[in-house]
Amino acid sequence: MAQARVAILPIPSAGHIKSTLEMAKLLHRYHFSVTVLVVPLPNYPVGDYIATIAATGLDINFWHIQPVDPPKGADGPEDFITAYMEKQNHHIKSALHDLLRSDDAPLAALIVDLFATGAIDVAAELGVPCYVHFASNAAFLALMLYLPTLEEKFPEEFEEMEEEVRVPGVCPIPPISMPSPFMRKKSGRYTCFVHHGRRYSELKGIVVNTFTDLEPATLRALEEGLCAPGRRTPPVYPVGPLIAREDSEKNRQHECVVWLDGQPARSVAFLCFGSGGCFNAAQVGEIAAGLERSGCRFLWALRVASEEEVYGRRKPADAKLEEVLPEGFLERTKARGMVWPSWAPQVEILAHRSVGGFVTHCGWNSCLESLQCGVPLLGWPLYAEQHSNAVVMEEEMGVALQLKVERANGNFVKAEELERGVRALMGESEEGRRVRAKAEEMMAAAKKAWEDGGSSFVNMEALVHALLAK
């Protein structure tokens, strides 16, 4: 029998749900019964992720929350999802109330997504300890906690600052590389982050998908309370890397993986941009030209922008290669490259012996998946906190290089810049050798973190103790 039950509240977002379900599986390993509160969102199906976990037979239950009308007048995706989750509070309270009355294991805690701080009030009303599962890195957590302080110190727009943005425990961040929601301070996107950063002081704890050797200075600053001056910093539990492993026979026989089987070790640059990354025709042409001129082997998972929007962003669609690629490109590069026009099994690809570099949007799940395999990164940030992630991955962690992105032009990257970046990542330059060595070092550190006595192992034991103490 489970020693206690934990309820988890993710937002309906692919990256957040993947990370949350890995957290659910981890809690199950520690003999907790887990109930995931599934919040529906029109036109955003999450059934595939849920079905994958349900098929494992683990003691993880899914409680489907009733839909509500989407909020009107939201200013961007972050403002929308914050308001949408708050509109769900009545249904969340009802679900928690039923769990508290259940004869099953006692409810030890509610663990909510970083955007669902409205549920803190629901948990407090019912006497349930509330934690946040922070699906990004410790650097972004530090930035969120420090954001109210930055707002007081620098009321002007970040782009107007002449100096770099300094957050305790984090490398200096150029103002132009601040997260996308922070670039207009009068927007609801920005103010909702200030709001969440303040509310974190009310939490019982924050569970972060990172590990100590990857972000030691940042985690130390968080532990010392330096990132929330004048406010309480709850205990922070780095228990990463938590990575969804899609190790199925179907994925191992995927055409991309089969193609990689025929390539030399560590010779292929893999280009993939997450569940939300997509490009217009002009950018596709620049990528093709840059890859062709680089002379490097490549595997490119190409998705294009559709007319449909989710959270205010264009939804990716499968590409029709003959329509979007330059004429003759596939024929000229067929001996050393492959373009895949749909979803690709990223975890299996990054783990393949032939992959030597990863051109990525710097979404945190993708970064961890790459480091778990010892693959260095070339950052091409697109949205959310990815621009600051790219800086931290290069300057703080030393596992990545960055492309020069024209942020004011939709994060456009020219062909010659991609050519330069891919050659630097895959070639024998000093910077290429440096990031490859650091990525391999972090691969070993990630494995060690979950060995008996490792940092994430110890932090998880502390979290379990806190959950049971209530």
Binning pLDDT at 50, 70 and 90, where does residue 378 land? very high
**pLDDT tens-digit series, residues 330-369:** 999 999 999 999 989 999 999 999 999 999 999 999 999 9
Measured between alpha carbons, how far is 160 from 148 in angstroms, rounded to an integer? 18
**pLDDT tens-digit series, residues 34-43:** 999 999 886 6
Binning pLDDT at 50, 70 and 90, where does residue 1 land? low
Q: What is the pTM of this model?
A: 0.96
Binning pLDDT at 50, 70 and 90, where does residue 59 land? confident
- Residue 437, both tokens: 């060595």
Q: With contact defined as beta carbons under 8 Å apart, do 89 and 119 qualify?
A: yes
List residues with catalytic annotation.
16, 113
What is the pLDDT of the chain when averaged over all its residues?
93
The mean per-residue pLDDT over the stretch 120-135 comes to 97
Does residue 248 surpass a pLDDT of 80? no
Measured between alpha carbons, how far is 59 from 6 in angstroms, rounded to an integer? 11
